[in-house]
Amino acid sequence: MTKAIQDLWILTSNGIVVFNRVFDAQLKTQLFGALMSALNSFAEQLAEGGLSNFELSEKRFIIMKKKAFLFVANSSKKIKEKKVVEQLEIISETFFEKYNDNLVDWDYDIAVFSGFEKDIGDSLQDPIKEFWKGF
Sheet holding 17-21, edge to edge: 17-21, 7-12, 69-76, 59-66, 53-56
Contacts of 12 (CB under 8 A, 6+ apart): 18, 37, 68, 69, 70
- Name the CATH topology of 7-133: Beta-Lactamase (3.30.450)
Q: Where are the domains of the chain?
A: 7-133
pLDDT at 132 exceeding the cut of 60: no
pLDDT at 114 exceeding the cut of 80: yes
pTM of the model: 0.79
Give residue-wise pLDDT tens across range 54-82: 788 888 989 888 888 989 999 999 999 99
Give ∠ CA 72-2-35 in degrees, rounded to 5. 10
Do 17 and 30 contact (CB within 8 A), yes or no? yes
Going by C-alpha positions, the residue among 40, 39, 81, 74 that lies closest to residue 59 is: 74
Q: Which helix (H) or strand (E) holds 72?
A: strand 69-76
Give residue-wise pLDDT tens across range 15-56: 888 998 887 666 677 777 777 777 777 666 655 666 677 788
Q: What was the pLDDT predicted at 94?
A: 94
pLDDT at 91 exceeding the cut of 80: yes
pLDDT at 113 exceeding the cut of 90: yes
Do 51 and 39 contact (CB within 8 A), yes or no? yes
- Give the residues across from 74 on adjacent strands: 7, 61
Quick one: pLDDT band at residue 98, thresholds 50, 70, 90? very high
Q: How many whole angstroms from its chain centre is CA 22? A: 10
